[in-house]
A and B are shown apart, each in its own frame.
Chain A
Amino acid sequence: MIRFENVTAFYENDKPVLNGVSFTEEKGETIGLIGANGAGKTTLMRTLLGLLPHEGLITVDDIPVSEKTLPEIRRKLGFVLQNSDNQMFMPTVYEDMIFGPLNYGLDREEVDARVDDVLTQLNLTELKHCYNHKLSGGEKRMAAIATILVMKPEIILMDEPTSALDPKNRRLVINTINEMPETKLISSHDLDMIWDTCDRVILLNRGTIVADGSAKDILQNKELLEDNRMELPLRFSNP
């Protein structure tokens, strides 16, 4: 369970990028986080992970996010970064995938089994021993998702998971998201994907929540979306 209570966050003492954000995500829920470029979606996730100082209260399973609780909090969270280049740092896909689980003290056999499971699930077995710097943009994104899934986090944060993916891989990611029972927070401009994966949507604009409700109510509300510098999902825009 994630709770934000009147959270304000800053980048280096500038003006706040998140402004009085409050919401609660129950266990097992999937929330879509939408908003125009610069609305604060990435910032919200970074704040939750303790990568950015904040004011107000953020809790994960009732543990408040603070310097002291970070290891415990981060253990629960898996974060797929918007830019996969910044996510992968080991030479090969395999080495990158085992990095997290080994750090958490799992033994090698268990880790190897998990790696193979996730690679099969994501249709990536061929890339197992590839060099990260030689992957295509979309392959890199899929591999980045794999490095997070292999850690089996309780809560999954995904920042733009489908950008750079071809239609087939996009569909695969959507299906994968739908199969995962974990609590999920997904930010995206791909509103059709949000429609396919999320029951609940939070709409951000300039660092504040302007709407929080069911996907049906928000994603079909042309006026609301356009007021916040956005457009209807494709499936509703051309009748």
Chain B
Amino acid sequence: MLAAGDSPVHKLHPSAKLVVTIAYIIITVSFSKYQLNGLLMMIIYPAFLFSSSGVTVGTCFRKLRFILPLVLAVGLFNPLFDRAAMIKIGNITVSGGTISMVTLMLKGVFCLAASFLLMATTSIDNLCAALRQFHLPPMMVSLLLLTYRYIGVMTEELSVMTDAYSLRAPGQKGIKFNAWGSFLGQLILRTMDRADELYNSMQLRGFSGSFTYADCKRFDRRDALWIVLWILLFLICRFLDIPGILGSLLLGGFS
């Protein structure tokens, strides 16, 4: 459980982290498709979080390895449609399509990384408590929590089943194609059964549709500061051309 860590980032108020993550995603997505320079600056947020939370980039990529290819595939066709030359580096011409492809991919990767970092530094219960403080309907929050737990149950069953399979099929890599059908069927049935049982068990202990949340820590000045500073930084990256300014400063210094 990553979210149980103890770094300064883990200790921030869940709402503060949630707000900054949402702001980050909105601003990142809002970059225009050729604004690669500015977008690159946005790496500062995930980079800072990785270095200060103790969560490693490796873990992030390992956990996201199934969605990452999908995100990367999104921009893949842009170079085919948009062939107008944008910039020239030496005698290589880079087309607008290539730039927009890279921009799209980066946006995807950045947003995924930011969401992952939120999940990795905040437990789902705290996150839901924060959502409740924003006055989201309790029903929605409970649904989110239940979905999250359902996915947990599913992965647990999956690992038990793959273990059981590989123990009886030594020396075989992965699962044989002709066993996929029954394997998947079993997985779904088992997950449903267990989710059912778990839900029963919740009901038997008085669950009536809304969770009683663990006490949330107080929102203090550090949390406010966290929100203000990051959003300010994002806006600067978004609306000022930092690489350009730096470049002209440097060039100015030389001339």
Q: Identify the A interface with B (CB < 8 A).
A: 49, 51, 71, 74-75, 77, 79, 81, 83, 85-87, 89-91, 95, 99-100, 102-104, 108, 131, 133, 147, 151
CA distance A83 to B149 in the complex (A): 18
Binds A, one of B64-72, B82-90, B203-211, B229-237: B203-211
Q: Which residue of A lies closest to B149 (CB)?
A: A89
Describe B's contact surface by its main secondary structure: helix
Listed residue (B198, B202, B212) with the most chain A CB atoms within 10 angstroms of its CB:
B212
Cα distance A133–B194 in the bound complex, in angstroms: 15
Q: Give B71 Cβ to nearest chain A Cβ, in Å.
A: 29
Q: Looking at the complex, which one of B205, B212, B214 makes contact with A147 (CB distance below 8 Å)?
A: B205
With A86-B194, A95-B214 as contacts: A131 and B205 at CB distance below 8 Å: no
Q: Does B125 contact A (CB under 8 A)?
A: yes
Q: How many residues of B contact A (CB 8 A)?
A: 21
- A95→B125 contact, CB < 8 A: yes
A124 to B204, CA, bound (A): 23
Q: Which of B194, B206, B215 contacts A104 (CB 8 A)?
A: B206
Taking A74-B204, A104-B206 as given, write out 20 further A-B residue pairs in contact, using a Cβ cutoff of 8 Å, ordered by the A residue number: A81-B201, A83-B197, A86-B194, A86-B201, A87-B201, A89-B149, A89-B198, A89-B201, A90-B125, A91-B1, A99-B202, A99-B205, A100-B206, A102-B212, A103-B208, A103-B212, A108-B215, A131-B1, A131-B4, A147-B205
A81:B197 contact, CB within 8 angstroms: yes
Residues of B within 8 A of A108 (CB): 215
Q: How far is the CA of A95 from the CA of B4 in the complex (A)?
A: 14
The verdict on A91 contacting B123 (CB below 8 Å), with A86-B197, A102-B212, A103-B208 known, is yes
Q: Is B200 an interface residue (CB 8 A)?
A: yes
Total A-B pairs, Cβ < 8 A = 51
B218 to chain A, nearest CB (A): 16
| B198, A100: Cβ atoms closer than 8 Å | no
CB of A151 within 8 A of CB of B205, answer yes
Give A77 to B205 CA distance when docked, in angstroms.
9
Q: How far is the CA of A51 from the CA of B204 in the complex (A)?
A: 9
Residue B6, interface by CB 8 Å: no
- Per the bound structure, the CA–CA distance linking A51 and B201 in Å amounts to 10
Chain A residues with CB under 8 A of B1:
91, 131
B163 sits at the interface (CB 8 A): no
C-alpha spacing A99/B202, complex, angstroms: 8
Interface centre among A75, A103, A147 (most CB of B within 10 A): A103
Residues on B with beta carbons closer than 8 Å to the beta carbon of A100: 205-206
- How far is it, in angstroms, between the C-alpha of A22 and the C-alpha of B149 when the chains are bound? 39
